[in-house]
Amino acid sequence: MDSLFDRISEASKSYPKPNIHFSYGTAGFRTIGLDLVSTVFRMGIISALRSQKKFGKAIGVMITASHNKEEDNGIKLVDPMGEMLNQSWEEYCTTVANAKDEQELISAIKDIVNRENIDITKPANVLYGYDTRPTSVLLVGALENGLKAINAESVNYGVVTTPQLHYFVRCVNTKDYVPYGEPSVDGYNKKFAKAYITLMDMARVTPDTITSVNIDCANGVGAPQMAKIASVIGDNYLKANLLNTEVYVKNKLNHDCGADFVKSNQKPPESVPIIPGQRYCSFDGDADRVIYYYFDQNKQFRLLDGDKISSLIAMYLRDLVNTAGLTELNLGVVQTAYANGSSTKYMRNTLQLPVVMANTGVKYLHSEAEKFDIGVYFEANGHGSILFSDKAVDVLKNKEPQSPAQMDAMVKLAAFRNLVNEAVGDAISDMLLVEVILASKRWSLVHWDQSYTLVPNRLMKVKVSNRHVFTTTNAEQTLVTPAGVQDLIDNVVSKYPNGRSFVRPSGTEDAVRIFSEANTPENAEELGITVCRIVYDKAGGIGPYP
């Protein structure tokens, strides 16, 4: 064993740690790509240890910085069912990434081995992929050397979307009992295309009734992968017009385009020529988020974000579950405090579905969604998925329908599940789900948009001297410390019709984020600024705010 640690120590000399503190968060590690080389080398070792801890099950590693600017990059680990890395291992990742030299690195690795009782002589299996950033090739080399140093077996999937890598991990680890699918791009495309075509056929859609969808691919990896699955599906079922597909043109990735740009700026990319009445959606750089939008007859921009997608899917599933008579299954929705208040009311009051709040971060929503037989979860940014419990899968396979209508609904539910990437939010999968639902209801984006009216809202931030003094409860909706600040916020909120505001510390910088809602855009703005002022005056503000 000493020779193994000696080999790791020797290999790590080629990857000295820069004078930077790294922290593993919801998105893994993310910073300037050139600064991540030592961290990526070390995550190769951590991913192998995690695989050994899981008795040789495959662990995923994705090199991406999602919607960040092109010079950034990142790395995150994927657990055996395609879910995000168990939170208990995030601390290990942070500790290993920050080891100052070879001696400290080996000490940290040995500590993990001892704490987790890992047999380091056992096989390790790691699957990895990366996006189109210029630094990805450099970082892949560092990862491969880390895997080689610890004798891990590995599979390089090349340039793939983040959700595809999650999907491959789940497929590999389920192949010996209930296979989730074939762990390849072709397998992914064939499974989702088959489910999509089945649902479109059941909706009695014909080529002349298909509505074209214009897809802003953010000049990212979603462009080539969307083109592949669109080719498998065929024009008779999907008319996809791909925009912003300059994947390897310098400084194009996520530049003034993509889901994060559209959501943050409440406007379409200038590179997307908007025609009133046509349908548009945007992916982010690694294709795990999707949002829809259009221009109405008055040429006003209308956004259908993750909240709208969540409510559309929840409505569709509710109707199918009711028609199928599956009273033994509970369907629920998970949101964060950033969800628009109207969406929460619509799902609770109109759809009569339970809605629970989770902390910000997909890993928290995913965990809450697992508590339902069918759990729908989305963040407002367009990142989300649907989970089916073992009980739900068993019912769909084995329950005898009592009528043709029940049979039809159960077949649709089974096909719908096959169109979902249950491992993680997936822009391609979620876009296909939306297209199926809209086609089945013969809805335009206008019809969908009219399901409820958004409450005007604003998102602001205030720089503070120490974000760690801000602690929250109630799914981040209530501020616990600094003492007394929440009372001041509550007093201000009470003065505005439909008023709502909350404050939460940023996960990446010394700042707090302020969300506000009110009956008019002007009141939402005024409320947000007032809460910013409270934070600035009472809780150590150090920078300007809107």
Catalytic residue among 51, 66, 342, 367: 66
Does the residue 11 lie in any domain? yes
Give yes or no: residues 6 and 140 share one domain: yes
Owning domain of residue 279: 186-303
Does the residue 164 lie in any domain? no
Q: What is the largest CA-CA distance in the chain?
A: 72
Structure pTM? 0.94
Q: How far apart are CA 235 and CA 238, in angstroms?
A: 5
Binding residues for Mg(2+): 66, 284, 286, 288
Give yes or no: residues 7 and 133 share one domain: yes
For residue 352 the two structure tokens come to: 């009569």
CA distances from 62 to 65, 127, 164, 195 (A): 9, 9, 10, 26
Active-site residue, 385 included = no
Residue by residue, DSSP assigns 421-463 as -TTS--HHHHHHHHHHHHHHHT--HHHHHTTSPPPPEEEEEEE
Give yes or no: residues 16 and 151 share one domain: yes
Domain boundary among 449, 468, 498: 449
Does the residue 543 lie in any domain? no
> Residue 497's pLDDT is what?
95
In 112-252, beta strands by DSSP E: 125-130, 153-159, 213-216, 240-243
Number of domains present in the structure of the chain: 4
Give yes or no: residues 28 and 50 share one domain: yes
Give yes or no: residues 116 and 145 share one domain: yes
pLDDT < 70 positions in the chain:
1, 508, 543-546
Give yes or no: residues 291 and 346 share one domain: no
Q: Which of 241, 260, 212, 181 is nearest to 435 (CA)?
A: 212
**Angle, nearest 10°, between helix axes 306-324 and 404-418?**
140
Does the residue 180 lie in any domain? no
pLDDT tens, 378-415? 999 999 999 999 999 999 999 999 999 999 999 999 99
Does the residue 17 lie in any domain? yes
Binding residues: 66, 284, 286, 288, 379-381, 504-508, 513
Does the residue 172 lie in any domain? no
CA distances from 172 to 157, 168, 187, 383, 479 (A): 13, 6, 12, 24, 43
Give yes or no: residues 443 and 330 share one domain: yes
Give yes or no: residues 63 and 147 share one domain: yes
Give yes or no: residues 464 and 508 share one domain: yes
Give yes or no: residues 415 and 509 share one domain: no
Domain of 471, CATH number, reads 3.30.310.50
Binding residues for substrate: 379-381, 504-508, 513
Domain boundary among 140, 159, 178: 159
Does the residue 53 lie in any domain? yes
Domain of 61, CATH number, reads 3.40.120.10
> Residue 264's pLDDT is what?
87
Domain boundary among 398, 425, 449: 449
Specify the 3-state DSSP secondary structure of 291. Answer: strand
Give yes or no: residues 411 and 324 share one domain: yes
Does the residue 516 lie in any domain? yes
Give yes or no: residues 75 and 151 share one domain: yes
